[in-house]
Amino acid sequence: MKFESYNTEGFFDELFLENGEPRSCARALIETINELPDGELQRRQKTAEATFMDIGITFAVYGSKDGAEKIIPFDVIPRIVEAQAWSHLERGLKQRTEALNCFLNDIYGEQKILRDKIVPEELINTCTAFRRECIGLIPPKKIWAHITGTDLVRDKDGTFYVLEDNMRCPSGVSYVLQDRRILKQTFPKVFSKCAIRPVDEYPSKLRSMLEYLAPEHIDNPHVVVLTPGVYNSAYFEHSFLAQQMGVELVSGNDLLVKDKKVYAKTTSGLVPVHVIYRRIDDEYLDPMTFRADSLLGVAGIFEAYKAGNVALANAPGCGVADDKAIYTYVPEIIKYYLGEDNVIPNVPTFVCEDPVKMNHVIANIDKMVVKAVSESGGYGMLVGPKATDAEREEFKEKIKANPRNYIAQPMISLSRVPSIVDGGFEGRHVDLRPYIIQGKDIYVLPGGLTRVALKRGSIVVNSSQGGGCKDTWVIAPDKGAPEQGQSHQYMQHQQQQQQQQLIGGIIC
Amino acid sequence: MLSRVADSLFWISRYIERAENIARCIDVNLNLLLDLPGEERQFEAIIQTAGCSRDFYHKYNNASSENVMHFLTLDEENQGSVISCVANARENARCIRETITLEMWMVINKFYHRLREQTAKEQMLNNPHNFFTEIKEFCQLYVGIQDGTMSHNAGWNFAWLGRMLERADQTTRILDVKYYMLLPDISMVGMSLDIVQWTALLKSVSAFEMFRKTFSAVTPQNVSEFLLLNKNFPRSVLYCVEHAQRALKKITDSQSTTNGEKSIRVIGKLKSQLEFSTIDEIIAKGLHETSDDIQLRLSHFNAAIRNDFFDCTWQI
């Protein structure tokens, strides 16, 4: 299998230039693959898939009677991010994370940003992720969003945009670590030639952040990961992270609360718990405060949290900052708290709650991607250009009935990465989810989850909708940097894009 | 350690040990069939000792070797089959993946997928000896990996405790196979057929070689003594009970609290009873009755462990 006949088909390709030459960062990889004997790459792809199965990185196929388990589709051709592009992204992600944390402190505190009319008060009041229970609450070290997974996309001219902020329980980082382990076995020689930044320090960073949150007087904090249980689709990740951090994985039944303190049930009695990395949604966290019918949570845990006896990451209530309608205000939020322009632009977004914008969306629905603000995972969305007339009509009615629940974005022509398809290479659309940890300082994992839409032409990358994943290589600054001069052009280009976005230009 | 985690470690060991013993039982019966052409009744005996004859006859009309082999090995509806044991071990392992080592998890996971291969049944029927050897080897591989990769901490001791408990129970059941394996005629006791059966029984627990080093003659007394009361053979009941007691002591010694008093008492009593019995007394009382009694006490022990460590009433 060789890249000779590979065609970028006019899309921005992460590994190839328009003229068909490999990008400098991808040259070693492409050369290695071209030199492989026939069938060798397919063999390595199979080995990688078998490793996923053996390690058990699988999900159960719901409704299948024979209990079949499948692996998340994985493609061995990685996505490569150049050093300059990455340092730009890193700066932007840190900025965004910091600003959104300020926003959360404000929104559950004095609400200055509402009084100054930067963000409409109405938007907060109607946001389902806003937790009134958290008003006036100051979380340990004033941090709300400890772990963030920000979805980025790249347009056909190579500009990165933020598509979505994920602050509730962003998942997928375990794939980043596992994909890397597997790719090191798949392309060992390429790793020795390129300066690919390692991702292995993530669990250590995560653990030190969690320990940093422990109540002041505790010397040796007891940290646990709280999972909804073995049937949760992200269970593998919960157990993997607990294992990699060397902490206990608990489910709700393993914990109990007495006198506003949280304890773990152990073979030698009850042992106090100080920090909980919870992977249970707010609503299910505590049947006494939130949903009473929750069997997953721990009764009384919210009171223990309020009393400062236990830290929860991410903090309950932080979902208000990743609401899809609040998202449109993030550039203003960054400006308001940090006094800076946003480094990574948003995808231009029309909030249907604004009647003018709603009419615009309805009139141009065939060019738009419409999303329900309360849904995730690729559900409740319409890809206008690919939808049927009936589907478009249906969405128009839905939008008119509940405008607050919908936003729309122009269709972005997502960048592509070559992927193995039927014994050859074809470009497939990708997005990128880097992971950010906010503790004593803000850390951006050099890498991230590259999700790929494996269906030809599809732009929906969610695994629930037939998406797969790829490893993401970030090149270290010294080696493999892009040709001289590109960096400067790149920055200029970014600024132009941003201006364009500010004046509301539609990028199709 | 978390009670739930200890519970899972305990049960993974029990399930894997159980899977191994099912494979041993079937394998030895197949060997017997070769020695005694035309005899299919031995498979009836396995169903009896496994304690699942009701479920079996609910599904099948007769205890043919094929029916029994499928029921005890690959039938996922039978909670006592090898595949169910491996699936249960895997579910438990999945719940505590962060506690066990990757190697421990991978060997269970791989074997689970191996048993679910479409051709598994065909392979089992075409080449049963290889198939059951593979099961036994998997179980021993798991034990070896656990021993060699996991810290010998409280969790490891819970796992060892579970293994010893299950093994003691299974050895009494295997011994009991002989009880159900009726001889055609009482006058045949001590005759070659009888000796063939007792030898097969020894082989089913891999005890033949070690037995020979202790006793010269294969007699019911000698075999029973070896499998119940030998202090050094790792599958004898006394050995297992003594090692269960040791594991329990290590667990209680490592804890600041006084959990485990009842478990200590129950296992201590069983151990002294075995230690101070002679095989003649046991045979006088009845081998089958003694096996039943040991199984009952082991089940009390299991309940005591659950009460003391896994399911306590939580107080500060």
Task: Give the type of residue at B6.
Answer: A
- CA–centroid distance for B250 within its chain: 23
- The pLDDT score that the predictor gives to residue A123 is 87
Which residues in chain B touch residue A239, judged by CB atoms under 8 angstroms apart?
94, 96-98
Query: How many CB atoms neighbour CB B139 within 10 A?
Result: 27
Q: What does the mean pLDDT of chain B come to?
A: 89
Q: Decide whether A216-309 matches A350-410 in CATH topology.
A: no
For B316, which of A242, A268, A270 is closest by C-beta distance?
A270
Q: Cβ distance A93 to A100 under 8 Å?
A: no
- Percent of all residues in chain B with a pLDDT value above 90, rounded to a whole number: 63
Which residues in chain A touch residue B98, judged by CB atoms under 8 angstroms apart?
225, 239-240, 242-243, 247-249
- The pLDDT score that the predictor gives to residue A498 is 44
Best of B76, B97, B118, B153 to substitute, by most chain A Cβ atoms within 10 angstroms, is B97
- Of residues B39 and A343, the one with the higher pLDDT is A343
Mean pLDDT by 10 residues, chain A (508 residues): 88 93 93 92 92 77 60 92 95 97 96 95 88 94 95 93 90 92 92 92 96 92 93 86 93 94 91 95 88 86 95 94 89 96 94 89 90 73 88 91 89 92 91 96 96 86 78 83 46 48 33
Q: pLDDT for B216-241, tens place per residue? A: 899 889 999 999 999 999 999 999 99
Contacts 24+ apart (CB under 8 A), A379-385: A379/A464, A381/A460, A383/A411, A383/A459, A383/A460, A384/A411, A385/A411
Does the distance separating the beta carbons of B1 and A267 come in below 8 Å? yes
Please name the residue that has the structure tokens 């656990």.
Answer: B146
Give A168→chain B minimum CA distance, Å: 23
CATH of A350-410 among 3.90.25.10, 3.40.50.300, 3.40.50.2000, 3.30.1490.270 = 3.30.1490.270
Q: Cβ distance B13 to B244 under 8 Å?
A: no
Best of A266, A270, A271, A277 to substitute, by most chain B Cβ atoms within 10 angstroms, is A266
Task: Say if residue A314 is preceded by a cis peptide, omega within 30 of 0.
Answer: yes
Nearest CA in chain B to A51: B106
B73/A33 Cα distance (integer angstroms)? 45
Per-residue DSSP letters for A465-476? GTEEEEEEEEB-
- The pLDDT score that the predictor gives to residue B162 is 96
Q: Which residue numbers of A have CB closer than 8 Å to B's CBs?
A: 53-56, 225, 230, 235-236, 239-240, 242-243, 247-251, 253-254, 256, 258, 263-270
Q: Which value does ipTM take for this structure?
A: 0.78
Q: Cβ distance B244 to B267 under 8 Å?
A: yes
Give B240→chain A minimum CA distance, Å: 23
Beta pairing partners, A152? A162, A432
pTM over 0.80: yes
CA-nearest of A437, A435, A436 to A211 is A437
The stretches of A339-485 forming alpha helices (DSSP H) are: 355-363, 389-401
Does the distance separating the beta carbons of A239 and B316 come in below 8 Å? no
Segments making up each domain of chain A, as ranges:
216-309, 350-410
Which residues in chain A touch residue B2, judged by CB atoms under 8 angstroms apart?
248, 250, 254, 264-267
DSSP annotation of A206 reads H
- The pLDDT score that the predictor gives to residue B186 is 59
Does the distance separating the beta carbons of A240 and B109 come in below 8 Å? no
- The pLDDT score that the predictor gives to residue A480 is 45
Q: Which residue numbers of B have CB closer than 8 Å to A's CBs?
A: 1-6, 91, 94-99, 102, 105-106, 109-110, 113, 154, 158, 251, 255-257, 259, 309-310, 312, 314-316
Does the pLDDT of residue B180 top 90, yes or no? no
Give B311→chain A minimum CA distance, Å: 9
A17/A91 Cα distance (integer angstroms)? 25
Q: pLDDT for A385-401, tens place per residue? A: 888 999 999 999 999 99
For B98, which of A242, A251, A258 is closest by C-beta distance?
A242
Residues near A58 by beta carbon (within 8 Å), at least 6 away in sequence: A52, A69, A70, A71, A236
DSSP annotation of A65 reads T
**Structural tokens at position A384:** 């206008």
CA-nearest of A326, A234, A387, A240 to B105 is A240
CATH topology for the A216-309 domain? Rossmann fold (3.40.50)
What SS3 state is found at A250?
strand
Q: Cβ distance B304 to B266 under 8 Å?
A: yes
Which residues in chain A touch residue B309, judged by CB atoms under 8 angstroms apart?
267
- Percent of all residues in chain B with a pLDDT value above 70, rounded to a whole number: 92
Does the distance separating the beta carbons of A53 and B98 come in below 8 Å? no
Give B51→chain A minimum CA distance, Å: 27
CB pairs below 8 Å between A and B: how many?
Answer: 80
Give A268→chain B minimum CA distance, Å: 6
Does the distance separating the beta carbons of A251 and B2 come in below 8 Å? no
Q: pLDDT for B244-290, tens place per residue? A: 999 999 999 888 777 788 999 999 999 999 999 999 999 899 888 99
Q: Cβ distance A278 to A312 under 8 Å?
A: yes
Q: Cβ distance A292 to A140 under 8 Å?
A: no
B16/B145 Cα distance (integer angstroms)? 13
For A54, which of B96, B97, B106 is closest by C-beta distance?
B106
Beta pairing partners, A341? none
Give A41→chain B minimum CA distance, Å: 24
Does the distance separating the beta carbons of B95 and A254 come in below 8 Å? no
Does the distance separating the beta carbons of B310 and A269 come in below 8 Å? no
Q: Is A105 exposed, middle or buried (0-12, 13-18, 19+ CB in 10 A)?
A: middle
Does the pLDDT of residue B3 top 50, yes or no? yes
**Structural tokens at position B101:** 């080592």
Does the distance separating the beta carbons of A265 and B4 come in below 8 Å? yes
- CA–centroid distance for A124 within its chain: 23
Does the distance separating the beta carbons of B251 and A269 come in below 8 Å? no
Does the distance separating the beta carbons of B102 and A55 come in below 8 Å? yes
Does the pLDDT of residue B41 top 70, yes or no? no
